[in-house]
Structure 1
Amino acid sequence: MIYTGLRFGDGICISKRWVVNGMLHILTHKTDEIISIPLHPNLKEVLEKYDYDLSSLAISNQKFNKYVKERCLEAGINADVEVVKYAKRIKKYHVIPKYKLIASHTGRRTFITNAILAGIPLSVIQRITGHKKLVTLQKYVDIAEGINVEEMDKFSKFFGLRIGER
Structure 2
Amino acid sequence: MPFIKYLAFLEDFALDMGGTVGTLGKQKIRSVFLSKNDEIKIAPVICYESIFGEFVTNYMKNGGNFICIITNDGWWSDSKAYKQHLSYARLRAIETRRSIARSANNGISAFINQKGEILKKTSWWKRNAIRFNINTNSKITFYTIWGDFIGRIFGFLAIILLLYLFVEYRIKR
TM-score, length basis structure 2: 0.22
Task: Name which structure has the greater RCO, CA cutoff 8 Å, separation 6+.
Answer: 1
Task: Determine which structure has the larger helix proportion and give its number.
Answer: 1
TM-score, length basis structure 1: 0.23
